[in-house]
A and B are shown apart, each in its own frame.
Chain A
């Protein structure tokens, strides 16, 4: 079995050669100290940790799963020890506020580390990613008292976090939720209700767990306008923050899932549990979403991370597995058959994965840079960066996770029947990657957010910014892009016309946008991946070792992308243009 190897060279090529990240960091408040030397050291350490500590947990963790016993959850063997090492490394607070013990690293760097973590073990990293996410929400919306008390506990991994939104009858539509919060003494609240699908809701890695809970005050308005956010510990805390008695929080059961078996997915009951308000009353959903906007990219990265490992394993298998002869003549005549890598269709599967992975990583970095500019950049640049980040985030979540599953399936197919057998780990990647299309808002919900709030709401203006940037890039690098310049330009033109079409159609018919949403998002994704490949190509051509193996392979991948994958944008464009009628005309009974 092939072990995971962190794709450091690819990451460094993107950071330094494609995006000139050092200069970017220079422009960010608080990041002036960050340079290539430090970043490389951190990336190498993350690579070492993920390859040696976390990756070995993945297969056994899938087989063992979490164990539920009398209200307690036990993670698979090795998780407790690994968590200790992991948290000691300061990785949970990697992006955290330095004022409270965080490392203060920008999104452009943390996303590389996150990718490695998820490649190594999606399930293990869920415990950490939820903790970081909760810390971020608390940092953005919590009072000083809550922040100074709890952020250090979260950053250090002494406490883990869990986000409690979903209830049995309310998932996508959180306005329906029923969990109640009653005001109590000392500015506290008493929370009562049942939440489902709570990742890391119970585990044995930490002595205490902090929950961020969405709930409704008795007199709150109905719907999403009446939701508030509370911080609730599993156990009360002593003055030194060590855990004390139980706080009315219990785990009712764990779900049996398709994948991420080692990540606990819990039903959590709150029975008059004590908590503190985070942010202001009835503002909970908005507060939760500011955090989720930042974190949604993480879910896209999970898809990317699974793809990277799927590629590594399937490429290795294709080199080793001897089967049939190459169509154009034996390449391995001294043996009974040629490696299947000699088969064009096997190469198609591998290169499709690789072309999507590298564009996906570039896209994530591009989106991460906007998030950094929005948070740490120069004031003048912040509004635009914020809008761009909002535009790119749903695409980063949905398109990366959709392509993630596609890549895992291609990787699995390279293995033939062996890919269906558990021991090779390929089918696990498919099962683990599948959830990324669902949680943090299904990809359909992402597409609705994208088309409604990010495109139609500003009449395509923000997409127009990206279109201008792409055109400027093509104009500046025309000579360097050969035939691809025309292909990319044509796809950008189509994006522009389809955007105009959908903005206009939306004015006449409320269903027009939603009916087009998923296809429009995919069209946008493929065109932007085209831009990413143009940027990779330009960087490869300008590289010191432009004729070397590494750059040669990038040029080949660009060719695959432009000729084989970018054409997909057009089929999505046509689906958008086909309108809402074929979806909405049939009566309910016609189904």
Chain B
């Protein structure tokens, strides 16, 4: 079962030491009061809630799943009670607008809390997490009346939200959607259609659910240009926000899934449901995308949140499980055998998990720090931060979830046959984590966004903004005996990154297929270099702390050892991705479709 302990020391290393969040907050209007003490107190409360309330109902929820009866969804045992405590603790509104009952704390602080809640119970964390999208859409594009009705209810967690995009025939290609909206005399719309894969479209945890629905107004243009965004509440509220009559939006079935069984994945039917448009007609997709970056970082976080408890479980097991002797002499001579952590290959698996997990934490906290700047920084800083975020978000989402899933599999492997059995909980982490590579845009879709829209679309400008940072860091490390080796390697990769980009870009001008043929390898290549940057950054900080004699020397030495491991064993994976990219599109596209028959 769960032995998860919030990794407070590493969280503090990244937040307080590496990224100096306290100074960062002090520099942003509205966040000045968030001192180290405030942060630590909030994180401590989040830790308690996660470990004590959410962790105990994670495995049982996987066993039990959700239930549908007469159109009503019942969540697993303990879910509604945990949600009640969450609301009472004021967690839903942590970074919400104070004007609507929120506490106005930075988004970066929420990510740290979500790392812990997610690590203990990602399926449960989905429900409150989905409200964020609704809050952002309404907050940014809603009318004053809409804000008055919905914002406070959502921010305080009295109501929750859901996002309704996918239809049976349209997933990645949203332009194909068919759900129809017809304008009524009172300005509202009547929606008809069916949405699938809707997380949290119904549950028993809050008094109302606010569905954010993409639909097509009668007579709208075809494709993505004809999509509008609607608020479709489960119960239609009056002007004061009191819930009224039941809307014609009903769950007809629940999907049976590989994992994340505590999260209800619904088919939601709109049978003449009343909806209220958000913003202008036909601008729905744009509005939806305004919150995509943050949502995608939230999904990237799943890679970290699953890898961390998997690593902890594997580590505990590797220290306890006795099998065989160390090849360099018994390490536990009193026992019948040595703990398996003495075996090099078990260490390979553990170090891989550790290097990824700690690397993700630095990467994602840094990224969400940029989101704070986008929200509160001055115009120039906000633009700079927004550009970096635009570039790095698809990398975070694609790379962290893909390799995070790999980490959960490595943890399972450390357990041997016991990992395949449900009672240890590691196979659940594998199953739960798998979806993170799929939803909010598959890895393939992230890769197209990265290379197509972000890199080539900006003529390489967005990439350059980041490679400049890498370059500066490598230069700054050149004369440090301990770091110069790493810096040299990273500088080479950084250079190659640019060359590969030029190569693909050049070929793409001749042949549009070249982009897709390189995309996922490009994303993974980028991910390894980005993590290399954060490992060098951490090595820098660790080396600085060691030199100054601050804190726990063993902690910083472990950081340096893990950085070395990352450069020795994981960064070389860029080789295969570079080769695959360079091979071009011909080997994929030459054959006609019939050859794929069998």
- For the complex with contacts A565-B580, A575-B572, 17 further pairs of A-B residues with Cβ separation under 8 Å are A171-B418, A172-B416, A257-B420, A315-B597, A323-B170, A345-B447, A349-B444, A351-B587, A417-B439, A443-B413, A444-B413, A511-B327, A552-B591, A586-B351, A586-B561, A590-B561, A591-B350
Q: How many angstroms between the C-alpha atoms of A552 and B594 in the bound complex? A: 12
Q: Quick one: closest A residue to B573, CB to CB?
A: A571
Q: Tell me whether B217 is interfacial, beta carbon within 8 Å.
A: no
Q: How many angstroms between the C-alpha atoms of A560 and B521 in the bound complex? A: 14
Q: Are B421 and A582 in contact (CB under 8 A)?
A: no
Cβ distance B498 to chain A, nearest Cβ, rounded Å: 20
Query: Would A417 and B166 be within 8 Å (CB), given that A256-B422, A574-B572 are in contact?
Result: yes
Complex interface: chain B residues within 8 A of A590 (CB)? 554, 557-558, 561-562
Q: Tell me whether B569 is interfacial, beta carbon within 8 Å.
A: yes
Q: Quick one: closest B residue to A174, CB to CB?
A: B323
Contact with B along A38-64 (1 / 0, CB 8 A): 000000000000000000000000000
Q: Tell me whether B520 is interfacial, beta carbon within 8 Å.
A: yes
Q: How many angstroms between the C-alpha atoms of A280 and B476 in the bound complex? A: 68
Main secondary structure of the interface of A (DSSP, over half): helix
Q: Tell me whether B171 is interfacial, beta carbon within 8 Å.
A: yes
Q: Tell me whether A132 is interfacial, beta carbon within 8 Å.
A: no
Cβ distance B545 to chain A, nearest Cβ, rounded Å: 15
Complex interface: chain B residues within 8 A of A312 (CB)? 598
Q: Tell me whether A538 is interfacial, beta carbon within 8 Å.
A: no
Q: Tell me whether A553 is interfacial, beta carbon within 8 Å.
A: yes
Task: From A351, A517, A582, give the contact of B345 (CB < 8 A).
Answer: A517
Q: Quick one: closest B residue to A509, CB to CB?
A: B328
Q: Are A323 and B580 in contact (CB under 8 A)?
A: no
Q: Quick one: closest B residue to A328, CB to CB?
A: B512
Task: From B176, B322, B324, B591, give the contact of A337 (CB < 8 A).
Answer: B176
Query: Would A413 and B516 be within 8 Å (CB), given that A575-B568, A584-B344 are in contact?
Result: no
Complex interface: chain B residues within 8 A of A341 (CB)? 593, 596
When A and B form their complex, which 3 residue pairs have the shortest distance between CB atoms, in order from nearest?
Answer: A567-B579, A344-B516, A563-B583
Q: Tell me whether B470 is interfacial, beta carbon within 8 Å.
A: no
Task: From A169, A170, A422, A583, give the contact of B347 (CB < 8 A).
Answer: A583
Q: Which of B176-217 contact A (CB under 8 A)?
A: 176, 197
Q: Spell out A's residues near B (CB within 8 Å).
A: 5, 7, 166, 169-173, 176, 197, 255-259, 311-312, 315, 318-319, 322-324, 327-329, 336-337, 339, 341-351, 405, 412-413, 416-423, 427, 430-431, 434-435, 437-439, 442-444, 447-448, 510-511, 514-515, 517-518, 549, 552-553, 556, 559-560, 563-565, 567-568, 570-571, 574-575, 578-580, 582-591
Query: Would A336 and B176 be within 8 Å (CB), given that A510-B328, A580-B344, A583-B351 are in contact?
Result: yes
Q: Are B417 and A438 in contact (CB under 8 A)?
A: yes
Q: Quick one: closest B residue to A423, CB to CB?
A: B256
Q: Quick one: closest B residue to A515, CB to CB?
A: B344
Q: Tell me whether B430 is interfacial, beta carbon within 8 Å.
A: yes
Q: Are B569 and A575 in contact (CB under 8 A)?
A: yes
Q: How many angstroms between the C-alpha atoms of A419 and B417 in the bound complex? A: 25
Q: Tell me whether B31 is interfacial, beta carbon within 8 Å.
A: no
Q: Are B344 and A176 in contact (CB under 8 A)?
A: no
Q: Are A563 and B173 in contact (CB under 8 A)?
A: no
Cβ distance B542 to chain A, nearest Cβ, rounded Å: 12
Q: Are B575 and A571 in contact (CB under 8 A)?
A: yes
Task: From A318, A346, A421, A552, give the contact of B256 (CB < 8 A).
Answer: A421
What are 18 sample pairs from A and B whose C-beta atoms fall under 8 A apart? A255-B422, A315-B596, A323-B171, A323-B173, A328-B512, A337-B176, A344-B585, A345-B520, A347-B588, A351-B588, A421-B256, A434-B427, A438-B419, A514-B345, A553-B591, A564-B587, A568-B576, A583-B565
Q: How many angstroms between the C-alpha atoms of A372 and B392 in the bound complex? A: 54
Q: Quick one: closest A residue to B338, CB to CB?
A: A173
Q: Which of B437-461 contact A (CB under 8 A)?
A: 437-439, 442-444, 447-448
Q: How many angstroms between the C-alpha atoms of A348 and B580 in the bound complex? A: 10
Task: From A348, A427, A575, give the contact of B258 (CB < 8 A).
Answer: A427
Q: Are A515 and B348 in contact (CB under 8 A)?
A: yes
Q: Are A5 and B583 in contact (CB under 8 A)?
A: no
Q: Are B568 and A567 in contact (CB under 8 A)?
A: no
Q: How many angstroms between the C-alpha atoms of A91 and B439 in the bound complex? A: 43
Query: Would A578 and B327 be within 8 Å (CB), given that A563-B580, A563-B587, A590-B557 are in contact?
Result: no
Interface size, chain B (Cβ < 8 Å): 98
Q: Tell me whether B146 is interfacial, beta carbon within 8 Å.
A: no
Q: Are A171 and B417 in contact (CB under 8 A)?
A: yes
Q: Are A311 and B598 in contact (CB under 8 A)?
A: yes
Q: Tell me whether B336 is interfacial, beta carbon within 8 Å.
A: yes
Q: Tell me whether B354 is interfacial, beta carbon within 8 Å.
A: yes
Q: Quick one: closest A residue to B260, CB to CB?
A: A420
Q: Are B351 and A327 in contact (CB under 8 A)?
A: no
Q: How many angstroms between the C-alpha atoms of A416 and B196 in the bound complex? A: 13
Q: Tell me whether B423 is interfacial, beta carbon within 8 Å.
A: yes
Complex interface: chain B residues within 8 A of A346 (CB)? 444
Q: Are B420 and A556 in contact (CB under 8 A)?
A: no
Q: Tell me whether B17 is interfacial, beta carbon within 8 Å.
A: no
Task: From A422, A438, A586, give the contact of B416 (CB < 8 A).
Answer: A438
Q: Quick one: closest B residue to A578, CB to CB?
A: B568
Query: Would A319 and B257 be within 8 Å (CB), given that A327-B512, A560-B588, A584-B344 are in contact?
Result: no
Q: How many angstroms between the C-alpha atoms of A95 and B354 in the bound complex? A: 46
Complex interface: chain A residues within 8 A of B515 (CB)? 327, 344
Complex interface: chain B residues within 8 A of A549 (CB)? 594-595
Cβ distance B361 to chain A, nearest Cβ, rounded Å: 16
Q: Tell me whether B60 is interfacial, beta carbon within 8 Å.
A: no
Cβ distance A474 to chain B, nearest Cβ, rounded Å: 20
Q: Tell me whether B385 is interfacial, beta carbon within 8 Å.
A: no
Q: How many angstroms between the C-alpha atoms of A444 and B348 in the bound complex? A: 10
Q: Quick one: closest B residue to A348, CB to CB?
A: B588
Query: Would A416 and B257 be within 8 Å (CB), given that A549-B595, A556-B587, A582-B569 are in contact?
Result: no
Q: Quick one: closest A residue to B426, CB to CB?
A: A258
Complex interface: chain A residues within 8 A of B573 (CB)? 571
Cβ distance B87 to chain A, nearest Cβ, rounded Å: 29
Q: Are A422 and B344 in contact (CB under 8 A)?
A: no
Task: From A345, A448, A563, give the contact of B448 (CB < 8 A).
Answer: A345
Q: Are A173 and B569 in contact (CB under 8 A)?
A: no
Q: How many angstroms between the C-alpha atoms of A568 and B578 in the bound complex? A: 10
Cβ distance A431 to chain B, nearest Cβ, rounded Å: 7
Q: Are B595 and A578 in contact (CB under 8 A)?
A: no
Q: Quick one: closest A residue to B580, CB to CB?
A: A564
Q: Tell me whether B337 is interfacial, beta carbon within 8 Å.
A: yes
Query: Would A438 and B598 be within 8 Å (CB), given that A344-B513, A345-B519, A586-B351 are in contact?
Result: no
Q: Tell me whether B346 is interfacial, beta carbon within 8 Å.
A: yes
Contact with A along B308-328 (1 / 0, CB 8 A): 000000010001001110011
Q: Are B172 and A553 in contact (CB under 8 A)?
A: no
Q: Are A518 and B348 in contact (CB under 8 A)?
A: yes
Q: How many angstroms between the C-alpha atoms of A302 and B121 in the bound complex? A: 33
Q: Are A556 and B442 in contact (CB under 8 A)?
A: no
Complex interface: chain A residues within 8 A of B417 (CB)? 166, 171, 197, 438-439
Q: Which of B551-570 contact A (CB under 8 A)?
A: 554, 557-558, 561-562, 564-565, 568-569
Cβ distance A4 to chain B, nearest Cβ, rounded Å: 10
Q: How many angstroms between the C-alpha atoms of A12 and B166 in the bound complex? A: 43
Complex interface: chain A residues within 8 A of B420 (CB)? 257-259, 434-435, 438
Q: How many angstroms between the C-alpha atoms of A448 and B511 in the bound complex? A: 46
Q: Are B580 and A567 in contact (CB under 8 A)?
A: yes
Complex interface: chain B residues within 8 A of A517 (CB)? 344-345
Contact with A along B343-384 (1 / 0, CB 8 A): 111111111001000000000000000000000000000000
Cβ distance B448 to chain A, nearest Cβ, rounded Å: 7
Q: Are A588 and B564 in contact (CB under 8 A)?
A: no
Complex interface: chain A residues within 8 A of B155 (CB)? none
